[in-house]
Chains A and B, each alone.
Chain A
């Protein structure tokens, strides 16, 4: 049992070391990296299997009992997040096998990806506030190096913005963790939740939690602190930006969901603030996207807007709303990573990612048009794709809670998202390529053949199939999300599991 809980940490860590050792042979590095990502996915699915039965797995590192040892906890939400991390990691590695414009020639990319995955998985399964900080740093170091991979003026400049703003957020988190310990004498999330529920904590601890949630809001790119995201995501190599788009902000969202449901399970002032923040995030994000003229920048702003939906679910805090947030999280990671992948393929085929210089894809690559349509329509919330169910549940939960404005904003944002997606569709797919069919005389880049893109298409096709599957089999996925939300809404079981785990 213990081995399975630590496997989301051990597998990427072992893969990281193995890829470094095999550095001389790019073929071996890719094979090891792929095997590691598949093993992580398998471990995640095994955890989902256990968690689906309602167990909460908890383990104390080193066998020290709860206040001293570092706790690892896997409930339904954590298990699902680990599994989806494995899936997106695998897709990224398969996509990178196309090695299109590969800036790293495979050498540095794979170890760094697994370094990032260790941090992400660690953040999902830890039950200790300071340990969460350490995992954030681990994934941050990996993301810094991945973002700048390949170098160049634009990429370096984007990295500077990303590095400085993320460092500030991380310091806020560290300060908050220190204040929280000073005020409450514990860093274990379950014990803290117990103390909060019993009303035994001083006001300083609440202030520390507010500071911590602010730090997570920067990580999750909420309004008004999302500026770093659209300023940096578009400069990275395509597989890197897809991995970031899928996972990184969602670690922030996960941390927000975890702490708010544990510390303040009943709706209060914090939820009121989060509700308005969520509405502003949805609306500003989607409006920002409308002003952009490059594929990945449009998609970056949509990440901001979509994160707003998840926070909306958290802010309303009824079990149904939380279920909607969990479902949205699962659906969104798959869809968003896939859209970045497809944007990369489209840019490669047309020779540019500026919409003005793109075109003619529908005639040249109708299969790509189909693959784009699935996640794009899902993002906008068109039935029967996965995004429809996610939005439907959230809007219903808002209406049940009489949050009329939030429901209206969610629906309007959906319409704007559709407009934005149709902009990409019209410009990149329908209109003829400005360079003409033959090649690049007319300003933009020149169209290229689809040679060597097969691995990329496999990755994209599989993620698109998952989107359709989540949409068509929404019942079982939603059941899982509802059960996960019940665990979140009643943290007693989580606390109990951690306390019982004890030393051994």
Chain B
């Protein structure tokens, strides 16, 4: 089980990085999502994968077959945060696409490196 999960994590990270090397920004952002899921899975596997009992600690002690619930809680947090950031990245991408008509990484870098625009003459503030 651990080996299977490790291989999946490796594959996800590889796909994520491959996509992040693309010129199209949409693929870059999707690559970040794939990479993020690989990382989440890796964190998840830091608990135990073959937990077959609910992790309720009773006075009798910890159930022997329970997985460690903490990494699961951590991953839940990470998934929620990751989703919010993904939505923000998509919103920024959509706006960029509306402004530029295309979203290639080199174009975005070139625009960010443009010389600072001068302020318009005083008086005609929008």
Which A residues are closer than 8 A to B by beta carbons?
A: 101, 130, 133-134, 137, 140-141, 144-145, 148, 151, 153-154, 156-161, 163-164, 167-168, 171, 174-175, 177-179, 181-182, 187, 231-232, 234-235, 294, 296, 347-348, 351-354, 357, 439-440, 444-446, 448-449
Within 8 A of A (CB), among B11-43: 20, 25, 28-29, 32, 35-36, 39-40, 42-43
Q: Which of A137, A144, A445 contacts B119 (CB 8 A)?
A: A445
**Interface footprint category on B:** 35 or more
- 7 contacts across the A-B interface (CB closer than 8 A): A134-B77, A134-B81, A144-B88, A156-B96, A231-B109, A348-B119, A353-B116
**How would you classify the secondary structure of chain A's contact residues: helix, strand, loop or mixed?**
helix
Is B42 touching A231 in the complex (CB atoms < 8 A)?
no
Q: Which of A156, A178, A449 contacts B46 (CB 8 A)?
A: A178
Per CB-CB distance, the 8 closest pairs between chain A and chain B, nearest first, are A178-B43, A445-B118, A182-B46, A157-B112, A157-B111, A158-B112, A352-B118, A157-B108
Q: How far is the CA of A271 from the CA of B121 in the complex (A)?
A: 53
Is A179 touching B46 in the complex (CB atoms < 8 A)?
yes
Is A161 touching B119 in the complex (CB atoms < 8 A)?
no
| B114 contact set on A, CB distance < 8 A | 154
| B44 contact set on A, CB distance < 8 A | 178
Given A157-B108, A294-B115, check contact A178 B92 (CB 8 Å): no
Given A161-B109, A181-B70, check contact A167 B118 (CB 8 Å): no
Is B109 touching A181 in the complex (CB atoms < 8 A)?
no
State the Cβ distance, A369 to closest chain B Cβ, in Å.
20
Given A159-B92, A167-B89, check contact A153 B100 (CB 8 Å): yes
Is A141 touching B109 in the complex (CB atoms < 8 A)?
no
Is B119 touching A171 in the complex (CB atoms < 8 A)?
no
Is B88 touching A145 in the complex (CB atoms < 8 A)?
yes
Within 8 A of A (CB), among B82-97: 84-85, 88-89, 92-93, 95-96
The winner among A159, A232, A294 for most chain B CB atoms within 10 A is A159
| B43 contact set on A, CB distance < 8 A | 174-175, 177-178, 181
Q: How far is the CA of A137 from the CA of B88 in the complex (A)?
A: 13
B99: Cβ under 8 A from any A Cβ: yes
Q: How far is the CA of A158 from the CA of B109 in the complex (A)?
A: 7
Is A163 touching B71 in the complex (CB atoms < 8 A)?
no
| B47 contact set on A, CB distance < 8 A | 182
Q: How far is the CA of A179 from the CA of B118 in the complex (A)?
A: 49
Is B89 touching A164 in the complex (CB atoms < 8 A)?
yes
